[in-house]
Amino acid sequence: MTSITARLNDLRAQKRKALVAYVTAGDPHPDRTVELVLALERGGADIIELGVPFSDPIADGPTIQRGAERALAAGTTMRGVLRIASEIRTHSDVPLVLFTYLNPVLKYGLPALAKDAKASGIDGVLLTDLSVEEADRHLEALRAHDLDTVFLAAPTSSDRRLELVAKYSTGFVYLVSRAGVTGERDTLSGSAAPLVQRMRELTGLPLALGFGISTPQQAGEAAKLADAVVVGSALVRVVEQGGDGLEERLEAFTRGLKEGMK
């Protein structure tokens, strides 16, 4: 059992919901990421999505695009992100999901990445532009190193596609709450609940709900539907504001989200 599954099982046994926090590794600088991840964990994040910046992030809205630009400008590389993961592991057992686009992974070489990621303490991988159809030839390398493979399901996904997403996912399934790119929204989309319901009928895997969740209230609504709530852009925005006491503010913001989920 991977540490992602163990963590989600524990929470489920306690009838609690998981907070999955996204951070772009290397934003604003690779030297800062470890402390920011530890702040997220202190604030109550149960799982960390460690974003590897990509030059052309088509699934992301402006906030995370800017985060990726800052990280790349600061010299962040895939190797650098794996070093960051190793460093996190010297301080914490928080499950880590490597979250990125396919191209940096292909360039690194998938078998090499799977091996190095596992050795660096990564627990799972989510590639936003890898569909289940194209995944077959890529999954073996990841599974060989006991890495969870998380796939996205969307309100537009056909029933047939949801079945495939359920079949290929391990650890949890990431449900995209709405049509659109990542970013903060005022309300939780009406398309979230039907998607959760459709997916529940297909799998017993924990379901995480993300995209557009940025406030404690929205996190609370999402937690009523799903097993885990993913927050990304709102956290990247806190990082973007920077300044003194960033870790404390990030921790406090995360705690607020977690409170909203109770």
Catalytic residues: 49, 60
Neighbours of 160 (CB within 10 A): 8
Strand order of the β-sheet with 96-100 is: 148-150, 124-127, 96-100, 47-51, 18-24, 228-231, 207-210, 173-176, 152-153
Q: Please pick, from the candidates 38, 94, 97, 165, the single residue that binds another protein as defined by CB under 8 A.
A: 165
Q: Show Cβ contacts of residue 113 under 8 Å, excluding neighbours closer than 6 positions.
A: 78, 105, 141
Residues within window 48-87 making contact with another protein, judged by CB under 8 A: 54-59, 61, 65, 69, 72, 77-79
CB 152 within 8 A of CB 174: yes
Which of the ranges 10-18, 25-33, 155-163, 230-238 carries the binding residues for another protein, by CB under 8 A? 155-163
Nearer to another protein, 9 or 103 (CB): 103
- State yes or no: residue 134 binds another protein (CB under 8 A): yes
Find the part of the chain contacting another protein (CB under 8 A) among 13-21, 122-130, 231-239, 252-260. Answer: 122-130
Q: Where in 178-207 is the site for another protein (CB under 8 A)?
A: 179-181
Q: Which of 131, 237, 240, 252 binds another protein (CB under 8 A)?
A: 131
Minimal distance in Å, beta carbon 21 to another protein? 20
Whole-angstrom Cα distance, residue 185 to residue 95? 27
Rounded CA separation 260/155 (Å): 25
Q: Does 111 bind another protein (CB under 8 A)?
A: no
Q: How far apart are CA 247 and CA 148, in angstroms?
A: 29
Q: What is the DSSP letter of 107?
A: H
- Note whether 101 binds another protein by CB under 8 A: yes
Residues that bind another protein (CB under 8 A): 54-59, 61, 65, 69, 72, 77-79, 101-108, 128-131, 133-134, 151-158, 161, 165, 176, 179-181
